[in-house]
Structure formats: structure tokens, C-alpha cells
Amino acid sequence: MNNLLSRNKYFNYFNIAISLSAVMAFAIISFAPLFFAIERLQMVTGQSVISSISTFADRPANMDALSFTIIEASVSALATVLIGLPIAWHLARGQWKHVRLVRALLAVPFVTPAIVAAMGFLALISKGGILWNFGIDLRLETGFIGALSDTFGWQHPGHFIALILAHAWFNLSLVIRFVEPPLATFDPRWEEQLSVLPGGNTRLNRLRNLWIPFIGPAVACAGMMAFLFSFTSFALVKWLTPFSQTMESSMANMGGAAGIEGYRLDASVVILSTSVIQFIILMLTLILITILQRRNNSRVSMISENIARHNRGKISKSGMLIISLGIIFTLAPMLSIFLSSFKIRSAIGNGQFTERYSFDAWMAAWQGDLSYVAASEAMANSLIYAIVTLMIALPLGWILSSTIHSLEKSNKMKLAKIVDVMSMLPLAISAVMVGLGILLGILRYNSNLFGFFLLPVLPHVMLTTPFVVRIMTPAMRAIDPVFEHQARLLNLNPVMCWWHGRLSFLRGPAVVAASLTLAFSLGEFGASWILVRSGSWDTLSILVDQLMSRPKFDPMVQPVAMATASMLMILTFILFFIAERFRPSGDGGGI
Amino acid sequence: MKQNDQQYILKIEDLSKQFSQKTIFSAINFDISKGEIVALLGPSGCGKSTLLRMICGLETIENGSISFADADEAVIDTEMKNIRQSVGLIFQKPVLFPHLNVAGNIILGMSKPPSRKLRYEVTEKYLEDVGLSGFSTHSVETLSGGEAQRVCLVRALISEPKLLLLDEPFSSLDVKSRRKIAIETKQILKKKGISALHVTHDPEEANLISDRVIKWQDLVN
């Protein structure tokens, strides 16, 4: 018995040491580059962080970027909720044959790399694309879109609408992930009870007395998340609204010239003030999301999803129509990319073109040429970065989650909250800000590191670890401690207790976290664009951007870019469907 | 109403129910007079709750009819909304909305809710009747099973239904509380002159609360 107790004591010390190391490592990885970046910008500009806030408004372009960012993010959040809510409602309220598949299809956009989404919407709105064929010309803004511009003096309405649609598409799964699980497991007795009371005898009364209190916080939470992601969107803004700048894109464009003493001081001033303002807005949004998530812990009675679905019966025709439209909306940009990768146009004179379908673009993309790297090489780079990211982010996120959970179990709630918030903070720092942080905080001090092949892994770890924590922490909280207690009573050693009492329950969530880490790393664009675009280690997403940026007089440019985007898309989807396979049913937490 | 007979508040004629071609019950006939409390006694799973759900319009009627004293014709699907306004329903487990306090839950039963100022004053009057004075500001999550069921009773009665349906509402309480609340409920219903249909599998509870006991096997045979 004494042996067992001392063995457990050493195991506990070991656990504490590991936890402390992980917390410190994450804090250093995440915040040291940003700290040094700010130090450098302050040194170069001679401004403090506080004074940089007051100089932000001095430059009209900054205010234009701020107002455009707030408008596009707010409208995108609203559009996401308006499109996502009916889909989530009908998906939850009825019996579906392949509900997991439908749910996975509708969730696909969220893991789609941003550059792939941008290419998808470009293909959708370009001449010959699906929307163009329906008479909606968002790209060249002719027809009624042009009339909108002429009538209201609205500059580039087509581009703005395309961006809003793309953001709504991208964030659609947030509404479904947040709203569908509580609705699907909602005990119908509550609805029935209200329907026999005067307080629930009309739709308006039921909305006021039941649905708004019940799913309102989840809807608001999803809307705020959509706002956050639209606010920091970069690839979509870069490609769909080329004539407008968001705060993120203006920082990205000026980042290359910032942080250098005696050179382009204006760039450093813009980066410092914009990043501070953006950080404040994102922090406030995150705080609001945290408050809403706390309210979202619904106390209304839940029952098994299968029983609830059975009680509600078959899905209505209108529900079927809405879900079908949702799936078409989800798949349209992806199908557009895929089709565009085979479509090669040839000029036949007089501004006329012929189109033929072939695998030429796929072959060209795979082999590369003197002016761009081969997709095979970019894919190898992407996979290496993703695997190394996984090897660091998964154990780091796991230990952080375990630390949070252990602190909660020992009733050290404040400390648990601090570690939890710290692990979330990189989400308040956008991908471009992370990239700039490394560029200005590390590379400007030691430019030799530009040659370090694994440099992009650093931002990838920063950006993916919070997702690992978000997936693993709820999974750890859900484990019944009785299994670990039973293992201890059976006199198993601490490793075996951990193996049987915890690991066996965490394998599913770990596969989900691993697949999504790989998928997010593969598709990461903002930070990689800052760090590797001029290097020799292009990833697939950077290659797509580079290919698409080339002059389009070569008819192969666009199909090759689309073929490369298709490869990235296929790779990401394989990982995503593996993750969905292991996701527990009714899981609405995490992402 | 098939027969314009004002003596009954509810008349059920040849009522049947099937789920996925499985017959739950067939050709049920009975009625409830005005002010009468009827207990329907039967084993668990026999279809008593389904019958209650049909009466208050939560389940469709395919065969037979359910008539109310103030309805012009036998009630069919399209008139379910009207039925819901004239009946109250109390479930087996108390259904109180956790985002509202006791007063907020009771107000849901009123067609013309009082102003915020008067809310607690009004609900307190009703709570006194069931021995819950001073509970109007309480959170529903702090209530015991018996207290929660009493609040449900107040909420159902405040809408002044013509008929109150009770779906084994006391089954989750201990024997002593069950007897006490059954007697109190009967007293309140009698005082207000409200008819009630109480379904239960407990013969003692059926006798305590009702004026008349109908055995399920007598109905279906």
C-alpha cells in the first residue's frame, strides 16, 4: 500500500512538472514573438502602444479599413445566422436517414482552406460560373448588380455581396454546430406544455417564451463567432473585394516594409496602431462570446437525440427543401473549383473563346514549371508542416486541457479559468497578426531564421493549439471518474490507471483534434502568406495564391490554380471526414 | 357537438388510435360531466397518456370523436388550437421553464398577463391556495418535486380551463406527499368547479382524487 501511495505521489509531481512546462511553453510560443514585435515597432516608430491608438484615426485609409471591416463582418454575421438558422432548425427537428452525413456536408465549409473558398467563389461568380449563368454577375457587375451601383452610388456591390455570401458559406457550420445539438435533444414536453398554455398559444408567444430564451444565446454566440472570423478573414477579402481593404489585409500588405529602422516609417506606424485597435476589438468580441457561451449552458431538459427525433417524426417537405438548398449552397463553390480545373479556354479571335475539358491543368500543376513550384512539392511541404504541427500542437493542447481539467477538479477555478483564457488568446490574434508577430518579433532580429525550413510550423502551432484545447477539455470533463477510481482500486499502476480510466475514452476526441489540426495547418493562409511567400517552401495554399496572381493571358493559369486548389480541398476533406467519423453524436462543443 | 347535451363537458365516442399500424386502443366511449372529476385507472403503457394527448390536441384523431360542451361539432384536427385553449394539462414530470422564476412560469398560463408591477401580487394570491405563499420570486430549480407540481397546478388553473387533464402528476412523489397533494388538488378543483380527467395506475390515488373511477380494461373491452 505504501509503495502504491509513494508511486502515486511521484506520478503527481511528474504531472505537475509536465503541466507547468506545457503552460510555460505555450505562453512563450504564443506571446514572446508578439511581445518582441511590439517592442520593435515601438522602437522603430518612437510611439508607445497607447499613443499609437490616438494616431490611428490620423490616416483616413485606416478609418476606411476599420469601417469596411466592421460593416462586412456585421453583415456577414447577420447573413450567416439568417441562412444557417432555418437549416439548423430543420436538421434538428425530424428524422433523417443519414443525419451524420448531412451534418458533415453542411459543416465542410468551416474546415475548407480559406484560399480554396476564395477560389470556389471566384469560380462561382466568374464568367461561365453557376451564378453568372443564372444572370447574376457579381464579378463584372453588369445587369441588375450594375443597376444597384448606378442607382445608389454603391461602389462594387457585386464584390461586397460575393464576400458576404462567402463568409456566410464559411461560417454556416458555426450556426449548425451551436444551434442544432440543443434543438435535436430538446425534450418535446416543454413545447407541448407551452402549446396548451395561453403563454404559448401563438407562434409569437412561443418564440418569446420558449425559443428566444432557449436558443437565443446559442444563436448570438454563433453570430459573434461568425463576426470574429469575418473580421479576420484575409484570403476571401484579398480575392473577392480587391478594391476594398480590411484591417487585416491592410496590415498584410504593409507588413513586408514594417519594423525596419529608417525605412517606410509609415508602414510600422500603421501596423502598430492597426494591430492594437484590432486586438482590442477581437478581445471584446471574445469576452462577449465567453459570456454568451456561459448562458448557452441550457438548463432545459434534454433527452436522447434518437428519441427526440423519433417523437417528432419524419421531416416536412419544406424542411427537406431547405436542407437540400443548404447542401447545394455548400457544395456549389467546391464543385465550381473542381469543374474549373478541367475547363481550358482558347481564344479563337474577335474576343471569342472555345472551351475544352481535359486533365492538362492537373498534369501541369503536379509537374510545375520554371516559374512556379510543382504541386507535388508544395503538397510535400504542406504535409511536413502539418505533421510537425500535429506532433507539437496535439500533445501541447492535450496537456493544457488536462491541466485545466485537473485545476477544475481540485476546485482551483480561477487558475483553471486563467489557463483556459490563455489557451484561447491566439484566437484573438488573427493569422496575419501571428505571421507579422513572427516576422517582426523574430526575423527582424535574426534574419538568418528566414532560411529555417520549419519556421511556418510556429504560427501553425499557435493557431491550432486552441482548437485542440477546445475539443479535448469538454471530452475530459465528460469522463466519469468512476473508471479511474475503479482502476486504482484494482491496484493498477498510475500509467495503467490513466490508460484505462482516461485514454480509452479520449481516443475519439483525440482523432477529431488530430484530423482538424492537420486540416487547419494544411489550409492555413494568412500567417504563411506573410512568412513563406517569398521563400522556397511554398505550401499548397500559397501556391494557389501565387498561381492565381499571374496574368491571365495564359489560358492555363486559372485551371492550374483551380487544380491545385482541388488537391488541397480533397486532402482537407479526407481529414475532415475522418474527424467526423470519430465525433461523438450530439457534439456541439468545440468547433 | 354531435348531441347538444350540456350535461357533459367532454364526450368521447368510438375513439381509436394506431401508431405505425399497431393498435393502441379502439372504440373507447365515455364522458365527463360538468364539475366532475374522473380518474382513469390502468396499467403503465396501456395508452392512457396517448388518450390525454388526443384530448388536448397533441395527437391526431383518425377514428372516432372527441366533443366538448361548447364546441359546435365533433373536434377534428383543424380545431386542435381551439381545444388547447379550453383544456389544461399537467404532465407526469413537472415542466417548469428554468429561465423564468415561479411567477414567470405561472404568468404563462394567463391570457392577459398583468403588468410587471402587479405580477408578484397576482401570482401570490394563487400560490396561497396551494400552500406556497412567498414562493413567487423563487427560482424553479430550488423547488422540490411536490412544490414544482403545485406550481404546475396553479399555472394550469390560472387559465380557467373547462377541463383539466392530469397525466399521473403525482407519481414521482413519495406516498405521503402524493396523498396530501391529491386531496388538496381535489379541494381546489371542487372549489373552482373545474372538471378533470386524472389518469393513474394507483387505485388509492384514483379513489382519493376522483368522484368516479373508470377502469381502463372496462373501457377497451
CATH code of the region A1-46+361-583: 1.10.3720.10
Task: Return the pLDDT at A482.
Answer: 81
Task: Return the pLDDT at A430.
Answer: 86
> How far apart are alpha carbons A494 and A500 in whole angstroms?
10
Q: Could you count the other beta carbons within 10 Å of the beta carbon of residue A230?
A: 27
> How far apart are alpha carbons A148 and A158 in whole angstroms?
9
A189/B95 CB distance under 8 A? yes
A192: nearest CB among B58, B85, B155: B58
Does B143 contact chain A (CB < 8 Å)? no
Long-range contact list for A154-157, CB < 8 A, 24+ apart?
A155/A243, A156/A241, A156/A243, A156/A244
Task: Return the pLDDT at B75.
Answer: 46
A193: nearest CB among B57, B91, B141: B91
Shortest distance between the Cα of A320 and any Cα of chain B, in A, equals: 22
B109: nearest CB among A198, A213, A300: A198
CB A15 within 8 A of CB A403: no
Q: What confidence tens digit (pLDDT) does each residue in B137-154 have?
A: 999 889 988 899 889 989
> How far apart are alpha carbons A543 and A529 in whole angstroms?
10
B113/A190 CB distance under 8 A? no
B85: nearest CB among A201, A209, A300: A201
Shortest distance between the Cα of B133 and any Cα of chain A, in A, equals: 23
Does B88 contact chain A (CB < 8 Å)? yes
A199: nearest CB among B93, B98, B108: B108
A residues 195-224 lying closer than 8 A (beta carbon) to B: 195-201, 209-210, 213-214
Does A299 contact chain B (CB < 8 Å)? yes
> How far apart are alpha carbons A395 and A158 in whole angstroms?
45
Q: Which CATH architecture has domain B8-220?
A: 3-Layer(aba) Sandwich (3.40)
Residue B76's pLDDT band (cuts 50, 70, 90) = very low
Residue A60 CB partners (closer than 8 Å, separation 6+): none
Residue B40 three-state SS? strand
Q: Which residue of B53, B82, B84 is the best one to mutate when testing the A interface, meaning the one whose CB has the most A CBs within 10 A?
A: B84
* Helix A60-92, helix A317-340: angle, nearest 10: 130
Task: Return the pLDDT at B4.
Answer: 46
Task: Return the pLDDT at A402.
Answer: 92
Task: Return the pLDDT at A229.
Answer: 92
Does A189 contact chain B (CB < 8 Å)? yes
CB A120 within 8 A of CB A212: no
Chain A hits for B84, Cβ within 8 Å: 195-196, 201
Task: Return the pLDDT at B84.
Answer: 59
Beta bridge partners, B11, equal: B31, B67
Chain A hits for B80, Cβ within 8 Å: none
CATH homologous superfamily, domain A47-340: MetI-like (1.10.3720.10)
DSSP letter (8 states) at residue B168: S
Question: Going edge to edge, which strands form the sheet with B87-90?
Answer: B87-90, B163-167, B195-200, B37-41, B212-215
The residue to which cell 401570490 is assigned: B124
A189: nearest CB among B84, B91, B156: B91
Shortest distance between the Cα of B102 and any Cα of chain A, in A, equals: 14
Q: What confidence tens digit (pLDDT) does each residue in B179-202 have?
A: 888 898 899 899 888 999 999 998
A196/B89 CB distance under 8 A? yes
Q: What is the dihedral of CA A102, A104, A109, A115, to 10 degrees?
A: -130
Indicate if the pLDDT at residue B78 is higher than 50. no
Task: Return the pLDDT at B72.
Answer: 46
Does B42 contact chain A (CB < 8 Å)? no
A197/B107 CB distance under 8 A? no
Shortest distance between the Cα of A204 and any Cα of chain B, in A, equals: 13
Opening angle at CA A30, ends A28 and A32, nearest 5: 50
> How far apart are alpha carbons A279 and A271 in whole angstroms?
12
B108: nearest CB among A194, A299, A300: A194
The amino acid occupying position A222 is: A
Beta pairing, strands B212-215 & B37-41: parallel
Looking at chain A, how many residues does it have? 591
Does B20 contact chain A (CB < 8 Å)? no
Task: Return the pLDDT at A359.
Answer: 92
CA atoms within 13 A on the CB side of A232: 31
The residue to which cell 421553464 is assigned: B97
Does A450 contact chain B (CB < 8 Å)? no
Beta bridge partners, A458, equal: none
Q: What is the pLDDT along chain A (591 residues), one digit of tens a residue?
A: 555 556 666 777 888 888 899 999 999 988 888 888 898 899 999 989 999 998 899 899 999 999 999 999 999 999 999 999 999 999 988 788 888 888 888 988 988 999 999 999 999 998 888 888 888 888 888 888 888 888 888 888 999 999 999 999 999 999 998 888 888 888 888 888 888 888 887 888 889 888 888 888 889 999 999 999 999 999 999 999 999 999 999 999 888 888 888 888 889 999 999 999 999 999 899 888 878 877 665 555 566 677 777 777 778 889 999 999 999 999 999 999 999 999 988 777 776 778 888 999 999 999 988 778 899 999 999 999 999 999 999 999 999 999 999 898 888 889 998 998 888 888 778 889 888 888 888 888 888 887 788 888 999 999 999 999 988 998 898 888 888 777 777 777 788 888 888 888 888 889 889 988 999 999 999 988 888 755 567 899 999 999 998 887 788 889 999 999 999 999 998 888 887 777 665 554 444
B108/A209 CB distance under 8 A? yes
- Residue B57, sorted as left (phi over 0), alpha (psi -120 to 50) or beta, turns out to be left
Q: Which residue of B has its CA nearest to A189?
A: B95
Q: Which residue of A196, A208, A299, A312 is the best one to mutate when testing the B interface, meaning the one whose CB has the most B CBs within 10 A?
A: A196
If we measure between CA atoms, which residue out of A222, A288, A308, A227 comes closest to residue A589? A222
CA atoms within 13 A on the CB side of A137: 13
Task: Return the pLDDT at A534.
Answer: 56
The amino acid occupying position B186 is: K
Grid cell digits, residue B185: 388538488
A198/B56 CB distance under 8 A? no
A190/B97 CB distance under 8 A? yes
Beta bridge partners, B199, equal: B40, B167
SS (H, E, C) B59-85: CCCCEEEEEECCCCCCECHHHHHHHHH
> How far apart are alpha carbons A270 and A250 in whole angstroms?
9
Task: Return the pLDDT at A7.
Answer: 61
Chain A hits for B87, Cβ within 8 Å: 196
Q: Which residue of A95, A197, A212 is the best one to mutate when testing the B interface, meaning the one whose CB has the most B CBs within 10 A?
A: A197
Q: Which residue of A has its CA nearest to B84?
A: A196
The amino acid occupying position A586 is: G
Shortest distance between the Cα of B108 and any Cα of chain A, in A, equals: 4
Count CB pairs under 8 A between chains A and B.
59
Task: Return the pLDDT at A231.
Answer: 95
Q: What is the DSSP string of B108-167?
A: TT-SSPPPHHHHHHHHHHHHHHTT-TT-TTSBGGG--HHHHHHHHHHHHHHT--SEEEEE
Chain B hits for A300, Cβ within 8 Å: 97-99
Does A193 contact chain B (CB < 8 Å)? yes
How distant, in Å, are the alpha carbons of A357, A394, A567 from that of A512?
Answer: 37, 11, 21
Does B80 contact chain A (CB < 8 Å)? no
If we measure between CA atoms, which residue out of A530, A308, A538 comes closest to residue A433? A530
> How far apart are alpha carbons A291 and A58 in whole angstroms?
34
A300: nearest CB among B57, B88, B98: B98
> Are the folds of A1-46+361-583 and A47-340 the same?
yes
CB A93 within 8 A of CB A308: no
Q: Which residue of A191, A193, A212 is the best one to mutate when testing the B interface, meaning the one whose CB has the most B CBs within 10 A?
A: A193
Shortest distance between the Cα of B35 and any Cα of chain A, in A, equals: 20
Chain B hits for A200, Cβ within 8 Å: 108
Shortest distance between the Cα of B156 and any Cα of chain A, in A, equals: 7
> How far apart are alpha carbons A436 and A499 in whole angstroms?
41
Q: Where are the domains of chain A?
A: 1-46+361-583, 47-340
A199/B56 CB distance under 8 A? no
Chain B hits for A197, Cβ within 8 Å: 88, 108-109, 155-156, 159
Grid cell digits, residue A101: 452525413
DSSP letter (8 states) at residue B169: T
